[in-house]
Amino acid sequence: MSDVKFISPDTLEQAVDVYSKSSKEGKTKILAGGTDLLVQIRSGISQPDTIIDIKNIKELKEISNDNGSYTIGAAVAGAVLEEEKNFGNNWPGVLEALRLIGSEQIQGRASLGGNLCNASPAGDSVPALIASGATVKVHGPEGERDMPIESFHSGPGKTNLKNGEIVVNFQFPKKQKNSGDAYLRMIPRTEMDIAVVGCAVNVTIENDKCVDARVALGAVAPKALLVEDASKALIGSNFEKEAVEKAALACEAACNPIDDKRGTISYRKKVSKVLFKRALEKAIERAKKG
Amino acid sequence: MNEMDNKWIGKNTIRPDGADKVTGRAEYGADTIMPGMIWGKVLRSPYPHATIKSINTKKAEELDGVFSVATSSDCVDFPVDTPVILGIQDIRWMARNVLAKEKVLFHGHPIAAVAAMTEEIAEKACELIEVDYDVHPWAIEIDDAIKPDAPILHDFIKFDGKPSNIAGTLEHKKGNIEEGFKDADIIIEKEFETAAVHQGYLETHACLVSVSPDDRTTIWSSSQGQFMVRAMTSFITGIPQSSIRAIPAEIGGGFGGKTIVYLEPVATILSKKSGRPVKMVMTREEVMRASGPTSGSKSKVKIGAKNNGKITAAQGTFYLQAGAFPGAPIRGAAGCCLAPYDIPNAHTFGYDVVSNRSKVAAYRAPGAPIGAYAVECVLDEVAEALNMCPLEFRLKNAAKEGTKAVHGPTYPVMGYVETLEACLSHPHYKAPLKKLQGRGYASGFWFNAGGESSAQVNITEDGNVVVTTGHPDIGGSRASIANITAELLGIDVNRVSVLIGDTATIGFSNLTGGSRVLFASALVVTESTNQVIDILKDRASKIWNIDKEAIEWENGEARPAGDNAGKFKPLTLVELAEQATPTGGPIGAGHQVNTVGAEGGFATHICDVEVDIELGIARVIRYTAAQDVGKAIHPAYVEGQLQGGVVQGIGWALNEEYIYNKDGKLDNPGFLDYRIPVCSDLPMIDTILVEVPNPQHPQGVRGVGEVPIVPPLSAIANAIYDAIGTRFYSLPMSPPKVLEKISD
């Protein structure tokens, strides 16, 4: 531990420069809130020789709203985003997912970018980000690029970031009129727990008809999933029982979970249907309110 | 003592340890530091079962910054065939649990320890220790440990003449069980399983030990008994008890799990070999892997009753995991399970089963929740079959004063019936339930205990009081002792200071466990205080020059007993203290005795649950615990004990479990995946303090700390059945298990 180099650059360019030069051995870690990294270091899972603290980089801490389109810095903490009142009105599902991570103390540090890059299949904010249709901007030695959230991960703990790339911010589409999103997770306790199944739903309604829908699942596969068959089942429907059931079955079919100490395959499959229906109900209620 | 006149007993006085704890001043096990202190770390077994062929510590010793290395060869040798009993522990096993000798018997079993400049160096040095193992097949679960071809942990343990993992048995018999079942109109027999669960104390094990060149040893550590720490460390290191001073820290939870040692003897050896003070602090993972837990179990219970609701016979067989060394709490399971009932014919039998798990430690009413879980669930089924209210059914069969208990004693005055009546008349009993909500009931018993205690009561020069006792305060004993002392002396409670002495400053006191401490320490404090009052009267008699017998002590002052005694202005405690020197010297008295007269405690609980049948989640939405507490000396603390016990029972029932992977390793050694309830999981736990004073105690005290964890397991299982019509026979009733059974 005493030999770790700690760098706290002020600009993205500096950070990328250091990261791209030193990350080849996988010994350099990016530090945002540190709520995952510090635990990993203490338990010996991660033994970095260099830590790059990105909290001094302006873009990563910024929240902006361009005519209804939000851009949220990768290192913005959950408690900070909570205070940005209008964001929660636009994307209540994303905010509630982010706010489920850890305790109140952890919320002062935990960020969307950290949750995404930790790449746990059970990360709470990831399904909500996928359902929102947000994209993530990354900056690397070869410049900037945008990626849809659903293609960010390649497996448990693994991302499609290239060497030296750092997550900068999240860009949310302009919220459609009469749309709403919601995130629910199943945990054995009521808080301070990790999702056994997570489900996010984002729907847009016009004249009682579903005109757009995005459904995402967490903790049921090596990475969070966009369930396109569920979207297809919903779009064009009046959320009638058959359509909802078809979408629920699509969720169940999309699951590719494992048996582990947190839940069985059969449990996760059953619960994915239940959570989808409950999250959908919540999303519809929000959509109808505007 | 007339209750109406009590000024302090029964009052929620401010706890003496409160200010220090809320301002962070209280010193816990890991808070002590010393100049020149170094750090100890433990090398632990990577295998669940292996013979240690050799240990080579040379490379570790040569690492820069390393001061000393300890292995079992540094410990006193206790041959495996000779018991060395200390309380309920056997030092043969304790020594081998602290540092493995012939074999490693569970994943995480300590093999060696290193003391170095820093924890990091000590850890690195542990990795340099070379251990040559002969790895054996292992057995984790009870069925795997007792099957005919099971891997045998200890060759010398025999059962039915053959090497076995059944290390002991215990049985209780009453009447004629066959006749009893013949008399029954209805018989129900069921099998149950419970998972191993950890005490979950927040503070991990920690100590600092300094051994001088002449072997004089000082131990600062958090435990449930400084005298236990001294004795066990003395046995294992060979340093005489007179040379060891064990100083108790404040304790961040123990629940029975700190009634044995893990680190203190190791740190003592490391300090002795290095000449430096050695500090050791376990990580949470080490705590989960290698300390505690209490037994997992399997059991079978059969109960027969007449149509009129009278139980004619009951039979219970309990297999309890002991972990790597003998000593499962079968007495608690087989002894307590039928204790609330007057049953003419009964037979209970317990098996102590060793397997490749960490050695179990005491956990709040050890074994009793396991026994009660099976019995109280079957009773619920019998009551249902008889179409009787579960509480009325229990009332009909309740043990009373004079009942001969299945586990032996004939009960004196006791308050079990009163707990049932309190529940029947509580609003909770009749509160309406909604769909998918259900209500369950269960009772429970714990023996409680007396044992050795010492106290010293001293009057300070300014006329205040310092009381010293010898047991760590884990449940409010200091506040309660302050109440009692103030009451006896007739002074303000704030003039009484209560301290926990170390092994050099107070006489031998047995550990904090068995719900014994307030019972026992109140006895010795009462005797000491009465002696002090006698001395005070004697001093007044000298000042007034009248007979001591003509003086009474009231409201904190000595008074002439009547007009015949003479007319004198009363002498207050302060005035008598001022004149202590000319009247005979310091005023104080101590008492030490093996206390007797502890009586058991009974409880009845009502639990409401709501079940989310789509997710399999059962949530406790209302809970009422009624308990015969004897006399609540400090009611808020008593209430806290009841609530804490219930909460731990809720965790045990719903989510807590030791999960082992296919390699025989614990798979959830942390608080994320070992799920203790969090506050938002719990309703307010209502308590009903039933007070049937123990006639054998000056204040009527009964132990209260353990009974409340006994009923919840079955109360919750019975409530879930009431909610959804499905009975569960296996704990925990976690969401995947519940949903799977509902879906079937």
CATH assignment of the domain containing B512 = 3.30.365.10
Q: Is A274 touching B (CB cutoff 8 A)?
A: yes
pLDDT of residue B78: 97
* pLDDT (average), residues B299-313: 98
A110 lies in the same domain as A18 = no
CATH assignment of the domain containing A212 = 3.30.390.50
Name the percent of chain B in helix, strand, coil, to the closest 5: 30, 25, 40
Cβ pair A188:B655 closer than 8 A: yes
Interface of B with A in 266-285 (CB under 8 A): 285
H/E segment holding residue B371: helix B368-385
Q: Is A103 touching B (CB cutoff 8 A)?
A: no
Q: Is A281 touching B (CB cutoff 8 A)?
A: no
From the list A191, A261, A271, the residue facing B668 with the nearest CB is A261
A158 lies in the same domain as A64 = yes
List the domain range (segments joined by +) for residue B722.
297-448+599-743
CATH assignment of the domain containing A31 = 3.30.43
H/E segment holding residue B743: helix B735-743
Please tell me the least confidently modeled range out of A44-48, B309-313, B446-450, B658-662.
A44-48
B614 lies in the same domain as B629 = yes
B484 — pLDDT class (breaks 50, 70, 90): very high
Cβ pair B743:A270 closer than 8 A: yes
B542 lies in the same domain as B637 = no
- Give the number of residues written for chain B: 744
pLDDT of residue A23: 59
Kindly list the distances between the CA atom of residue B112 and the CA atoms of A3, B53, B115, B215, B264, in Å, as whole numbers in the listed order: 27, 14, 10, 21, 14
Please tell me the least confidently modeled range out of A22-31, B138-147, B267-276.
A22-31
Please tell me the least confidently modeled range out of A13-17, B485-489, B559-563.
B559-563
* pLDDT (average), residues A272-283: 98
What interhelical angle do A92-99 and A265-288 show, nearest 10? 140
A42 — pLDDT class (breaks 50, 70, 90): confident
Q: Is B734 touching A (CB cutoff 8 A)?
A: yes
Domain count, chain B: 3
CATH assignment of the domain containing A78 = 3.30.465.10
B607 lies in the same domain as B578 = no
Please answer whether residues B701 and B631 qualify as being in contact, where contact means their C-beta atoms are separated by less than 8 angstroms: yes
From the list B619, B668, B740, the residue facing A267 with the nearest CB is B740
A62 lies in the same domain as A156 = yes
Interface of B with A in 656-685 (CB under 8 A): 659, 667-668, 672-673, 675, 677-678, 680-681
Q: Is A84 touching B (CB cutoff 8 A)?
A: no
Cβ pair B616:A192 closer than 8 A: no
A149 lies in the same domain as A117 = yes
B609 lies in the same domain as B728 = yes
Residue-wise pLDDT tens digits, B2-25: 456 799 999 999 999 999 999 999
Residue-wise pLDDT tens digits, A148-168: 999 999 999 999 999 999 999
pLDDT of residue B1: 45
Domain count, chain A: 3
Provide the edge-to-edge strand list for the sheet that holds A197-206.
A179-186, A197-206, A209-218, A225-226
Residue-wise pLDDT tens digits, B293-302: 999 999 999 9
B460 lies in the same domain as B565 = yes
Interface of A with B in 162-201 (CB under 8 A): 186, 188-194, 196
Using alpha carbons, select from B287, B692, B256 the residue that is nearest to residue B475.
Answer: B256
B272 lies in the same domain as B316 = no
Residue-wise pLDDT tens digits, B58-67: 999 999 999 9
pLDDT of residue B2: 46
A38 lies in the same domain as A71 = no
How far away is chain B from the Cα of A260, in angstroms, using its nearest Cα?
9
A185 lies in the same domain as A164 = no
Cβ pair B678:A186 closer than 8 A: no
How far away is chain A from the Cα of B88, in angstroms, using its nearest Cα?
34
Which among A43, A189, A259, A273 is the top mutation candidate for probing chain B, defined by the most B β-carbons within 10 Å of its own β-carbon? A189
Q: What's the first-to-final CA gap in chain B, in angstroms?
A: 60
Residue-wise pLDDT tens digits, B228-252: 999 999 999 999 999 999 999 999 9
A144 lies in the same domain as A214 = no
From the list A189, A191, A267, the residue facing B736 with the nearest CB is A267
CA distance B526 to B20: 27
Cβ pair B659:A261 closer than 8 A: yes
CB atoms near residue B141 (< 10 Å): 18
Please, what is the average pLDDT of chain A? Answer: 95
Cβ pair B614:A188 closer than 8 A: no
H/E segment holding residue B496: strand B496-500
B347 lies in the same domain as B460 = no
A43 — pLDDT class (breaks 50, 70, 90): confident
Residue-wise pLDDT tens digits, B515-534: 999 999 999 999 999 999 99
Cβ pair A274:B735 closer than 8 A: no
DSSP assignment of B632-695:
-SSHHHHHHHHHHHHHHHHHHHHT----B-TTS-BS--STTTS-PPPGGG---EEEEEE----T
B525 lies in the same domain as B545 = yes
Is residue A1 over pLDDT 50?
no
Which residues of B are less than 8 Å from A263 in CB distance? 735-736
Of B575, B595, B615, which residue is a domain's last? B595
Token code pair at residue A6: 């700690």
List the domain range (segments joined by +) for residue A33.
5-53
* pLDDT (average), residues A204-233: 97
How far away is chain A from the Cα of B639, in angstroms, using its nearest Cα?
24
B407 — pLDDT class (breaks 50, 70, 90): very high
B590 lies in the same domain as B624 = no
Is B47 within a domain?
A: yes
Q: Is B292 touching A (CB cutoff 8 A)?
A: no
Is residue B212 over pLDDT 80?
yes
B76 lies in the same domain as B86 = yes
How far away is chain B from the Cα of A162, in angstroms, using its nearest Cα?
32
ipTM reported for the complex surpasses 0.90: yes
pLDDT of residue A25: 66
pLDDT of residue A21: 87
Using alpha carbons, select from B407, B337, B345 the residue that is nearest to residue B373.
Answer: B337
Of A171, A190, A218, which residue is a domain's last? A171
B461 lies in the same domain as B340 = no
* pLDDT (average), residues A135-140: 98
Please answer whether residues B603 and B689 qualify as being in contact, where contact means their C-beta atoms are separated by less than 8 angstroms: no
Is residue B222 over pLDDT 50?
yes
CATH assignment of the domain containing B98 = 3.90.1170.50
Is residue A93 over pLDDT 60?
yes
pLDDT of residue A24: 64
Which residues of A are less than 8 Å from B285 in CB distance? 43
φ, ψ of residue B544 in degrees (nearest 5): -90, -15
Of all residues in chain A, the one with the smallest CA distance to B732 is A188
How far away is chain B from the Cα of A264, in angstroms, using its nearest Cα?
7
Q: Is A267 touching B (CB cutoff 8 A)?
A: yes
Is B336 within a domain?
A: yes
| Residue type at B579 in one-letter notation | Q
| Residue type at A133 in one-letter notation | G
Q: SS3 for B114-169, per residue?
A: EEECCHHHHHHHHHHCEEEEEECCCCCCHHHHHCCCCCCCCCCCEECCEECCEEEE
Which among A262, A266, A268 is the top mutation candidate for probing chain B, defined by the most B β-carbons within 10 Å of its own β-carbon? A262
Percent of chain B whose predicted confidence (pLDDT) is above 90: 98
Percent of chain A whose predicted confidence (pLDDT) is above 90: 91
Token code pair at residue B129: 């220790």
Of all residues in chain B, the one with the smallest CA distance to A274 is B614
Q: Which residues pair with A199 in a beta bridge?
A: A184, A217
| Residue type at B158 in one-letter notation | K
Token code pair at residue A145: 């690029």
Is residue A142 over pLDDT 70?
yes
From the list A186, A190, A264, the residue facing B678 with the nearest CB is A190
